[in-house]
Amino acid sequence: MRNVLASIIGVGALLAGCVGVNPHMVNAEFEKEILRREAAYRLKPQDSISVTVVAQPGFSQTPVIVKNDGYIDLLLGRFLVAGLTTAEAEQTIATQQKEFQNVELRIVVAVVAPASEVVWVAGEVQRPSVVTLRPGMSAMEAVFEAGGNLPSGKLREILLIREGPDRTRHIRYVNLKIKEEDLTLLPRDMVYVPRTVVANIATFLDQYIYRLTPVSYITPVLMYSSLAP
């Protein structure tokens, strides 16, 4: 009888932990998608960006807000950037500086925080919800905004789901127990906190053992299993 109970628990653990993918391979594909998405992103009003002038830090500015008319005001001048990718914005600023100031500059533009965007937090958290994306918000901060993880939540292997330009979804495994692995979120990201193996086993036992088997039968089995050598 003890072997039967052990087998049942083993099946529950197998079902709970069965993923069938290599997290390292998934994460590598996710990194490629991040680069593709960032390259394709087009600036819009109220975006917060940084503008770095290489070798001339005195002219670098962050954050810079894209105004409602699509322009940004820099120490270098005023530039129309709405509708451009970051690479196109860099080229626009550099070209205008060369034309009007006869100065060649290397410009680096990066998105600090998109305007009024949200992320989704789901799974084993206190309040699964839509969370307003703040500048630089990380996956762990989003979990905190949703009330924190439940005791059954598996923070060592959360799923960060990100939508690509072609609307395909890309998944990355993140260990939130390690601060260095936490990631900055992008608009429309989903943070999913899965259940721990222990929590899944408990659910499995509750649904398929305790509820289907008379208590008078289960109790002696559990006692025998715990007392037997």
Would you state the pLDDT for residue 37? 66
Would you state the pLDDT for residue 18? 45
Would you state the pLDDT for residue 200? 66
Per DSSP, the three-state class of 136 is: coil
HSE-up of 222 (CA within 13 Å, CB side)? 11
127/130 Cα distance (integer angstroms): 9
Would you state the pLDDT for residue 135? 75
Would you state the pLDDT for residue 34? 66
- Asked whether the whole model's pTM tops 0.85, one would answer no
Low-confidence ranges of the chain (pLDDT < 50): 1-19, 213-229
Burial degree of 163 (CB within 10 A; 0-12, 13-18, 19+): middle
191/211 Cα distance (integer angstroms): 32
Amino acid, single-letter form, for residue 122: A
160/22 Cα distance (integer angstroms): 15
Would you state the pLDDT for residue 167? 66
The verdict on whether omega for the bond into residue 220 sits within 30 degrees of 0, i.e. cis, is: no
Would you state the pLDDT for residue 73? 94
23/27 Cα distance (integer angstroms): 6
DSSP E strand stretches across 87-155: 107-113, 118-123, 129-132
Domains in the chain, start-ordered, CATH in brackets?
22-40+115-195 (3.10.560.10), 48-113 (3.30.1950.10)
194 contacts 159 by C-beta, under 8 angstroms: yes
Would you state the pLDDT for residue 162? 86
